[in-house]
Structure 1
Amino acid sequence: MADTRKASRFIVPVAVAGVAAATIGLVPALAASGDPDLPEITAQQLIEKIAASDTQTLSGTFRISTDLGLPLGGLADLGGLGGDGGSSSADPTEKLTELVSGTHTLRVAADGPDRQKLTLLDGSDEYSLIHNGDDVWAYDSKSNEVFHEKAPEGEGVKGEGVKGEKPSAELPGTPKQLADEVLKAAGDTTSITVDGTAKVAGRDAYQLVIKPKQSGSTVESVKIAVDAATGTPLKFTLASVQGGKPVVDAGFTKVDFGKPAASDFTFEVPEGAKVTEGAAEKGAGEEKLPEDLAKDLEKGFGDLPGFGGLGKDGDLNVIGEGWTTIAKLDTGAPAPKTDEAPKEIQGLLDSFGDKVTGKFGSGTVFKTKLVNALLTDDGTVYVGAVTQDALVNAANAGK
């Protein structure tokens, strides 16, 4: 399916299906009595089916629940995450951070690469995000604020360059080739299987299950419920080895693959609403930042100011592979002494972290259900989607 770079980072209608398909190393719904009786299919055939899906139109209701296991109510509580408090409350980069915690219901609609709409329902208030041709609009009914930004011009179809130019790197040309690449990338670290069928939003679906073969990962499984008729991912579930609620449980509760009405994507600024223009409207010069940043990332952070060659000749090292990959960063500065902080701050830090010791010395492990980080007292950081024991073992091995 075609997409536009800037709009697609906002648009969840396709994002829901697209993320699941693109991160095929991850997801399904839990099986239950009355599961549909479908023809048998292998994991490779199901991956091919997802890759061959040409779903361009859909509408429905989507429910997402996120539980990172943070001791506070969510990331939004951590001191103003998502912005500086001075921008529009309708700005998608701020508003959609709400999806990282709690349970939310969304109405979604999509009509090809140029028209998508998402409405986040929060009691009597609504937040709408609309991409219609050259424009991206967002409206927050609670504050009566509007955010507007022009969609980028000249974007090619996925797998092509700008204005239809050939991509610089050769991509898999058929669903089978893509499936082969996915299975090859999984290698010895990952198990990919089909685990029965399920009913999702009234649709018959296969369940694709991805699990780490390695011990030490915080990921128990990633499951994707795939529509048997269209190959469209309908539900995504990421489970932690800690058990309990899934880290992410997102899926359609209602879905229709018919073409939505054109009026669904029209937007008129409500009377009296405050309108904020996005960066693209303020000046084309600002658009260079992502491209320049991408180039620096490709160089391994080598030329970024203040990073001193991290990831190349500097202090960032990668330990292990696959699901148990750990990043090691030597900050060069001792960790702050929390016992010298006010009691309120000490209590907050203690709620996030566990004190640990080993051959490396001592430190604190800061934990969520998915990503954990060990900060040693000498200022070395170990971080990854791995267990506390795996971080401690990596620190011990580094001594």
Structure 2
Amino acid sequence: MAETRKAGRYIVPVAVAGVAAATIGLVPALAASGDPDLPEITAQQLIEKIAASDTQTLSGTFRISTDLGLPLEGLASGLTSGLGGGAGGSGTADPSQKLTELISGSHTLRVAADGPERQKLTLLDGSDEYSLIHNGDDVWAYDSKSKEVFHEKAPADAGPKDAPKAELPGTPKQLADEVLKAAGDTTSITVDGTAKVAGRDAYQLVIKPKQAGSTVESVKIAVDAANGTPLKFTLASVEGGKPVVDAGFTKVDFSKPAASDFTFKAPEGAKVTEGAAEKAAEEATGEKDGPFGGQLPEGLEGVLGGFGPGAGAGKGDVNVIGEGWTAIAKIDTGAPAPKTDEAPKEIQGLLGSFGDKVTGKFGSGTVFKTKIVNALLTDDGKVYVGAVTKDALVNAANAGK
């Protein structure tokens, strides 16, 4: 959807996907005490089982917890409102805004799926609910707290490729696919015992970087022993503590959900926003939602634009240093970094709370850190970012001089 693509310009994804490559270990699974006693299986066989899994129908509940190690509680919700939510935005029911809440804290979700054309996700927040329903050519979203509805429908003359798509974000299956899709020789993958997840027997697939300098300690995927569906996904940082991402089913049923689960009618009196109408208005007026009115500040546009499909011309180009888990993206913004002491006091406090001043052969700069993704912004406007340690970023910047 246009709104999803629009939000994607400003949101740095939580998942460190695509940097993982895999050397497949052949360690058989051994049942730990108290865990299911399942037949032995190798990592190669278990990955093949995941790839062959064709689960089309399911319903259940899963919980996702995210801990990026950011110093400010509620930072994600602040970003969400700053990215076009609230007044002047497209409404709190817009999925591109609402689902950014999943990048912070713990959330419980109900899910249902009946093939590629029908899915439903409900985000539970106390007595309030937010539902996202995909049924054929329609995508509906409803926020019970604000009584707002968002609707996106494919044009009458659109082909299947133009129909709106709605995936279930953050599910163990989606996360596992992202990590496993780029296999290579920088990662060790083994099977480490069995477990019970949502009442199902599962194998434990463990993925670890072979390279030093990565912030990723391990990725663990609990795989349903019967049908190969990932039931739980855990991403751990070398810093220890809570997992960076911990997403797993607490209940799951693989039978076909009722057709009524995917029907939706806007409640009486609810405000309905049509996504297609918004897009047409934007194209007619040239106006865009977002914290900068569709325009990014000088320098920042080069940084974020360097990650998009238009990268590759002039300033903002991305050069990749290294490979696998320790790959670092280098971007030259073409503009000096903004001076922290010239920013508002609130911004100075924010930057100072998760930024470390560093110096080296490259000059000086600031490393902005989370438990997984770290970024070095040099004073002369170069950016080094990756799922690597602070020292790895400094070393890359020194080597670039």
Q: Partner residue of 2:293?
A: none
Q: Partner residue of 1:333?
A: 335
CA drift at 1:380: 1.5
C-alpha separation between the residues in 2 aligned to 1:235 and 1:151?
A: 33
Say which SS state the counterpart of residue 131 (structure 1) adopts: strand
The within-5 A match list for 1:244-259 is 244-259=241-256
Q: Partner residue of 2:265?
A: 268
Q: Partner residue of 1:131?
A: 134
Which of the residues 215, 226, 242 maps onto 1:218?
215
The CA RMSD over aligned residues, in Å, is 3.2
Say which SS state the counterpart of residue 160 (structure 2) adopts: coil
Matched residue type, 2:386: G
Q: Partner residue of 1:371?
A: 373
CA drift at 1:358: 1.4
TM-score where L is the length of structure 1: 0.78
How many residues align? The count is: 343
Which of the residues 104, 109, 113 maps onto 1:110?
113
CA distance 1:249–1:243, shift in 2 (3 Å): same
Matched residue type, 2:209: P
C-alpha separation between the residues in 2 aligned to 1:256 and 1:213?
A: 36
2:21, 2:184 within 8 Å by CA — same for their partners in 1? Answer: no
Say which SS state the counterpart of residue 116 (structure 1) adopts: strand
The within-5 A match list for 1:184-199 is 185-199=182-196
1:150, 1:281 within 8 Å by CA — same for their partners in 2? Answer: no
Q: Partner residue of 1:352?
A: 354
Say which SS state the counterpart of residue 41 (structure 2) adopts: coil
2:386 paired with 1:384: yes
C-alpha separation between the residues in 2 aligned to 1:25 and 1:123?
A: 39
Say which SS state the counterpart of residue 389 (structure 1) adopts: helix
Say which SS state the counterpart of residue 36 (structure 1) adopts: coil
Q: Partner residue of 1:34?
A: 34
2:186, 2:209 within 8 Å by CA — same for their partners in 1? Answer: yes
2:37, 2:194 within 8 Å by CA — same for their partners in 1? Answer: yes
C-alpha separation between the residues in 2 aligned to 1:342 and 1:47?
A: 50
1:82, 1:97 within 8 Å by CA — same for their partners in 2? Answer: no
2:59, 2:255 within 8 Å by CA — same for their partners in 1? Answer: yes
Matched residue type, 2:114: D
Q: Percent identity?
A: 82
Q: Partner residue of 1:173?
A: none
TM-score where L is the length of structure 2: 0.77
Matched residue type, 1:89: T
Which of the residues 239, 242, 267 maps onto 2:239?
242
Say which SS state the counterpart of residue 183 (structure 2) adopts: helix
1:7, 1:151 within 8 Å by CA — same for their partners in 2? Answer: no
Unaligned stretches of 5+ residues in structure 1: 10-18, 157-161, 164-178, 287-293, 303-307
CA distance 1:21–1:372, shift in 2 (3 Å): closer
CA drift at 1:51: 1.1
CA drift at 1:76: 2.1
Which of the residues 101, 111, 118 maps onto 2:104?
101
Matched residue type, 2:256: K
2:19, 2:324 within 8 Å by CA — same for their partners in 1? Answer: no
Matched residue type, 1:103: S
2:80, 2:97 within 8 Å by CA — same for their partners in 1? Answer: no
Residues 311-341 of structure 1 show CA distances to partners (whole Å, capped at 9, x for unaligned) of 3xxxx32111111111112223222222344
2:398 paired with 1:396: yes
Which of the residues 318, 321, 324 maps onto 2:320?
318
